[in-house]
Structure 1
Amino acid sequence: MGQYPLAFAQDRQGRGQVAAGNAAAGEERVSWRSWYALGLLFVVYVFNFIDRSILGMLNQPIKEDLGLTDTQMGFLGGVAFAIFYTFIGIPVARLADVSVRRNVVAISLAVWSGMTVLCGFAGNFWHLLFARIGVAIGEAGGSPPSHSMISDLFPERRRATALAIYALGIPAGGMFGSLLGGWLNEAFDWRTAFILVGAPGLVLAIFVRLTLREPIRGAMDTVPRQVAPAPPVREVIAHLWSRRSFRLLVLGASLQSFVGYGVGYWIPAFLMRAHDMGSGSIGVWLFWLGVPGMLGTFLGGWLGDRLSARDVRWYVWLPGIANLVALPFSVFFYIWPDVVMALSVSAFAGFLGGYYLGPTFALTQAMATPQMRAMAASLLLFSINLIGMGLGPQVTGLLSDVFATPGDAGAGGLRLALISVTLVNGLAAFAFLGAGRWLQSDLASVRSGA
Structure 2
Amino acid sequence: MFHGGLLAKLRGFYKWYVLGLVSVGYIVGELGHYLIGTTSKVTAEDLHYGDKSCLFNATHLTLSQLPVVCEKVNSTELCESLTLNGTRYCEWGYNGLGIDYQVLAGPAFMAVFTVVGVILGVVADKYNRARILSVCTLVFVIAILMMGTVTEYWHLVLLRMVMAAGESGCNPLATGILTDLFPEHQRALVLSIFNWGIYGGYGIAFPVGRYIPDLNAWGLSWRLCYYSAGVVGLVVAVLTFLTLREPERTTIGEEGAGNNKAGDASLEAGKKMPQVTIWHIIAQPRVLLLCLAASIRHCGGMCFAYNADLYYRDYFPDVDLGWWLFAVTVGIGSVGVVVGGVVSDKFVSKMGVRSRVLVLALSQLIATLPAFGSVVFGPLWAMITLAFSYFFAEMWFGIVFAILVEIVPVSVRSTTVGVFLFVMNNVGGNLPILVDPVSKAIGYREAIMIFYAGFYGISSILFFLTMFVMDGPVEQPAASENKPNGLDNKAYSHDETRHRIQDARL
Distance 1:40 1:143 in 2: 13
Distance 2:289 2:146 in 1: 39
* C-alpha displacement of 1:443: 7.2
* C-alpha displacement of 1:340: 2.1
Distance 1:439 1:391 in 2: 28
Question: Partner amino acid for 1:387?
Answer: V
Aligned counterpart, 2:491: none
Is 2:362 the counterpart of 1:362? no
Question: Partner amino acid for 1:421?
Answer: F
**Structure 1 residues 28-77: Cα deviation after superposition (integer angstroms, max 9, x where no partner):** xx932222211211111111211111111112222333231311101111
**Counterpart of 1:121 in 2: which secondary structure?**
coil
* C-alpha displacement of 1:442: 10
Is 2:395 the counterpart of 1:414? no
Distance 2:401 2:206 in 1: 25
Aligned counterpart, 1:447: none
Q: Could you tell me which of 266, 271, 293 is aligned with 2:333?
A: 293
* C-alpha displacement of 1:4: 11
After superposition, residues 191-202 of structure 1 pair within 5 angstroms as: 191-202=223-234
* C-alpha displacement of 1:223: 4.0
TM-score, normalised to structure 2's length? 0.75
Distance 1:4 1:106 in 2: 29
Q: Could you tell me which of 166, 171, 181 is aligned with 1:143?
A: 171
**Counterpart of 1:439 in 2: which secondary structure?**
coil
Aligned counterpart, 2:307: 266
CA contact (8 A) 1:120 1:192 kept: yes
Rg larger in structure: 2
Aligned counterpart, 1:349: 389
**Counterpart of 2:181 in 1: which secondary structure?**
coil
Question: Partner amino acid for 2:40?
Answer: N
**Structure 1 residues 255-298: Cα deviation after superposition (integer angstroms, max 9, x where no partner):** 110010011110100111110057xx443222101211111112
Is 2:414 the counterpart of 1:432? no
* C-alpha displacement of 1:214: 1.2
**Structure 1 residues 326-383: Cα deviation after superposition (integer angstroms, max 9, x where no partner):** 111111111213x122112210111111111122111110112122111121122112
After superposition, residues 144-159 of structure 1 pair within 5 angstroms as: 144-159=172-187
Question: Partner amino acid for 1:330?
Answer: A
CA contact (8 A) 2:148 2:226 kept: yes
Residues 331 and 370 of structure 1: is their aligned pair in 2 closer, same or farther, counting only changes over 3 Å? same
* C-alpha displacement of 1:241: 2.2
Is 2:348 the counterpart of 1:308? yes
Higher relative contact order (CA 8 A, sep 6+): 1
Residues 216 and 259 of structure 1: is their aligned pair in 2 closer, same or farther, counting only changes over 3 Å? same
Q: Could you tell me which of 422, 433, 441 is aligned with 1:402?
A: 441
Distance 1:385 1:200 in 2: 26
Residues 241 and 277 of structure 1: is their aligned pair in 2 closer, same or farther, counting only changes over 3 Å? farther
Distance 1:424 1:315 in 2: 20
Q: Could you tell me which of 243, 249, 254 is aligned with 1:211?
A: 243
Q: Could you tell me which of 233, 237, 240 is aligned with 2:282?
A: 240
* C-alpha displacement of 1:156: 2.3
**Structure 1 residues 217-236: Cα deviation after superposition (integer angstroms, max 9, x where no partner):** 0176744776779969xx21
Aligned counterpart, 1:27: none
Question: Partner amino acid for 2:229?
Answer: V
Deviates more, 1:264-273 or 1:116-125: 116-125
Divergent runs of 4+, >3 A:
219-232, 441-444
Deviates more, 1:259-268 or 1:168-177: 168-177
Distance 1:328 1:4 in 2: 55
CA contact (8 A) 2:257 2:474 kept: no
CA contact (8 A) 2:149 2:223 kept: yes
Aligned residues: 404
After superposition, residues 12-411 of structure 1 pair within 5 angstroms as: 31-65=12-46, 66-69=48-51, 70-188=98-216, 189-218=221-250, 222-223=256-257, 235-242=277-284, 244-277=285-318, 281-290=320-329, 291-312=331-352, 313-337=354-378, 339-392=379-432, 394-403=433-442
Distance 2:252 2:428 in 1: 32
**Counterpart of 2:470 in 1: which secondary structure?**
helix
CA contact (8 A) 1:34 1:153 kept: yes
Distance 1:237 1:47 in 2: 33
CA contact (8 A) 2:49 2:100 kept: no
Distance 1:171 1:146 in 2: 17
CA contact (8 A) 1:104 1:142 kept: no
* C-alpha displacement of 1:414: 1.9
CA contact (8 A) 1:147 1:373 kept: no
Distance 2:324 2:274 in 1: 45
CA contact (8 A) 1:245 1:442 kept: no
* C-alpha displacement of 1:308: 2.2
Residues 275 and 310 of structure 1: is their aligned pair in 2 closer, same or farther, counting only changes over 3 Å? same
- What CA RMSD, in Å, does the superposition of the two structures yield over aligned residues? 2.6
**Structure 1 residues 125-182: Cα deviation after superposition (integer angstroms, max 9, x where no partner):** 2111111111111111111110000110112232112111212212211122222222
CA contact (8 A) 1:79 1:391 kept: no
Distance 1:195 1:133 in 2: 18
Question: Partner amino acid for 1:436?
Answer: M
Which ranges in structure 2 are unaligned for 5 or more consecutive residues? 52-97, 259-265, 476-506
Residues 300 and 64 of structure 1: is their aligned pair in 2 closer, same or farther, counting only changes over 3 Å? same
Distance 1:96 1:255 in 2: 27
Distance 1:223 1:36 in 2: 29
**Counterpart of 2:351 in 1: which secondary structure?**
coil
Distance 1:130 1:214 in 2: 32
Percent of pairs with identical residues: 24
Distance 2:101 2:278 in 1: 35
